[in-house]
Structure 1
Amino acid sequence: MSQLPPPVRRAQPPQASTVDQYENGPFTFRPASKDGQRARLSLQGPSGSGKTWTGLSIAAGFAEGERFGVIDTERGAASLYIDDIPGARFDTLPMRRYDPRDLIKALAAAAQVGYPVVMVDSLSHYWKGADGTLDQVDKAASKYGGNKFAGWKDGGELQTDMIEALMAYPGHIVATMRASTKWVLEENDRGQKVPVDKGVLAEQRKGIEFEFGVAAELNQQNQLRFIKSRCPAFRGLKLDQPDGARDIAKPYLDWLRAGAKEIDTAAWVDQASSATATPDSLLALYRDVEAASALATPLMHPETGQPTSLGAYIRERGTALKTAQ
């Protein structure tokens, strides 16, 4: 009986890791702080309630004398008030189509300029305007045999990405939204069903107000009511013809800054772009940005000049350097 030769062990080629280090990081708790937090405020109201005027006044207060940016979907309405609102020094970007991806591009352009505040007047257009989210859902539905429910998979992602970019802008945000009065039939003391004014309903995705740190509604008498506030100074507060800078911007900023320090997003971009960056340093930077909820921060790609996000840029550089190694 012949004897078989002993087995030969051959070195196996290294296998590429299937674990994405960026997406599958550790869950790490950190001390809570308000460091780097920015104002996120929405104003909703019907036509004639003073949304643009009040929003500009608040934005001017947040800007504290610096120029700020206005993403204008209201056919130049903001520019009409340039001489009427004390301290309001701003530039406008007129928009004529309302694809949610265009708002992300506009925010990236604003971040590149370095505006400390951006006002979106109004956010409603990116929901139900031409090429807005609802249009995107209809377009996507055609890929699924007209199934609108399936269309929300694509259209909903565009809406989510837009809101993420808005919330991660490296400055303060003021967003106005068109709204209609919400009437509910209720029984009065005579047993009759009568319509009762229950506030206003924003023309945006349901629950949009929960995305903002402070949300308020205006009526046609320019009376403001806070409907949601993380800032204790505004809870349950109503203001008659408010001075946006004095009554809203100042107490909001005072609360955000109490015991907190500023975070310079530009420093993160510089670290990501550094010639001395390594895969390990970029992964650590990604974790810091992730902990600050700033991965979606919009910016123009330093090499291509195209809109991207801070998280995507760090990840791109880190992956490229690791591949090169």
Structure 2
Amino acid sequence: MKFEKAMRKKAKLRLALTGPSGSGKTYSALLVAKGIGGKLAFIDTEKGSASLYSDVADFDVLELDPPFSPERFIEAIKSAEDAGYESLIIDSITHEWGGVGGCLELVDTIAKAKFRGNSWSAWSEMNPRHRLFLDAILRSPMHIIATMRSKTETAQVEENGRKKVAKLGMKSEQRDGVEYEFTTVLDIAHETHHAIASKDRTKLFSNSDPEILSEDTGKRLLNWLESGVNPHEEALKQFVSDAESAAGMDVLKPLFEEAWRTLRGTEYQAKAKDVYDIRKSELEQPQSAA
């Protein structure tokens, strides 16, 4: 074992591509990975769809069949690491959540078998297993691109005395909040295949027009990763700035919760807690009499 000085260029990509079926997530993921370069592995849960794009990039594929338990994904990720791959595409992580043998199905099975149908108790067993899956992605030494299916979220609203169904936007078919685990989340439109960022710590996409993902996208991401910018350090700086301007605990607390998730497993997490405690103490001090 040998400790090495931590270097910012060691940062690895955590990119999520979301979109409805047919939006081009697989194709886009391969183009981005090709731009990043290096030895590429592909975990395919889509019944061999990856092989249809064998002409797009040079990659090795593992076709992952059901059950899609968190442990099966963790095992596949570990296999790619052990084989020395530099980048990994997981297409898609939706199956870990809602697929055959995925988290939702497992909770139902566990609830019926062990807790008389009490899904709340079943989740107490499933949550740590799902967390280990996400940790396997976060702590991997590889660049990771994960795809997620999304669907249109609707709600019934009343307008001019009449009820109608309104579209609220697209929602990823994974656990709520999963986007916090990624450096960048790009949503791909079904009709045009243009991508737009719903979350972006790189600032490469935040203020830009929708774009078609390409090899150049991967090259730009790689340049950012190797530019010396540490995403965790930047996230801490952003939290410090936001915390200083927070006018109350109702603002500060959710800011800290996001920073805590973003910085999980890094040295910056404890620093964020110190900043939170200091600002919390300031906000909770009774106002001095005029």
Say whether the fold is shared (TM-score over 0.5).
yes
Q: Which moved more, 1:133-142 or 1:203-212?
A: 133-142
How large is the RMSD of aligned CA atoms in angstroms? 2.5
Number of residues paired by the alignment?
A: 227
Gaps of 5+ in 1: 1-30, 262-289, 294-325
Matching residue of 1:169: 140
The residue identity in structure 2 corresponding to 1:77 is S
**Aligned position for 1:82:** 54
Other-structure match for 1:182: 153
Q: Deviations over 1:42-98 (max 9, x none)?
A: 011111111111111112112x2x330000000111110111x2xx11000001121
Secondary structure at the aligned position of 2:170 is classed as strand
Query: Given the two structures, how large is their TM-score scaled by the length of structure 1?
Result: 0.64
> Within 2, Cα distance between the matches of 1:195 and 1:256?
43
Identical columns (%): 34
Q: What SS is found at the alignment partner of 1:131? A: coil
Q: Which residue of 2 aligns with 1:150?
A: 121
Query: 2: distance between equivalents of 1:122 and 1:238?
Result: 26
Shift of 1:123: 0.5
What SS does the aligned partner of 1:108 have?
Answer: helix
Structure 2 residue aligned with 1:239: 210
Amino acid aligned to 1:79: S
Give, in angstroms, the shift of residue 169 of structure 1: 1.2
After TM superposition, the structure 1 = structure 2 runs for residues 250-269 of structure 1, keeping only pairs within 5 Å, are: 250-259=219-228
Task: Tell me, in whole angstroms, the C-alpha distance in 1 between the residues paired with 2:48 and 2:63.
Answer: 7
Q: Tell me if the contact between 2:97 and 2:103 (Cα under 8 Å) persists in the aligned partners.
A: yes
2:104 pairs with 1:125? no
- After superposition, residues 242-321 of structure 1 pair within 5 angstroms as 242-246=212-216, 248-259=217-228, 291=266
Q: Does the 8 A contact of 2:195 with 2:213 survive in 1?
A: no
Counterpart residue type for residue 80 of structure 1: L
2:14 — aligned with what?
Answer: 40
Structure 2, gaps ≥5 residues long? 231-264, 269-290
Higher-helix-fraction structure: 2
Partner amino acid for 1:154? E
Query: Within 2, Cα distance between the matches of 1:39 and 1:76?
Result: 25
Report the secondary structure of 2:12's partner residue.
coil
SS of residue paired to 1:234: coil
Rounded to whole Å, the distance in 2 between the matches of 1:73 and 1:120 is 8
Q: Which string of whole-angstrom CA distances, capped at 9 and with x for unpartnered residues, describes residues 98-117 of structure 1?
A: 11101111111000111110
1:125–1:132: 8 Å Cα contact kept in structure 2? yes
Letter in 2 for 1:106: A
The residue that corresponds to 1:230 in the other structure is 201
Q: Give the distance between the partners of 2:83 and 2:229, measured in 1 at CA.
A: 25
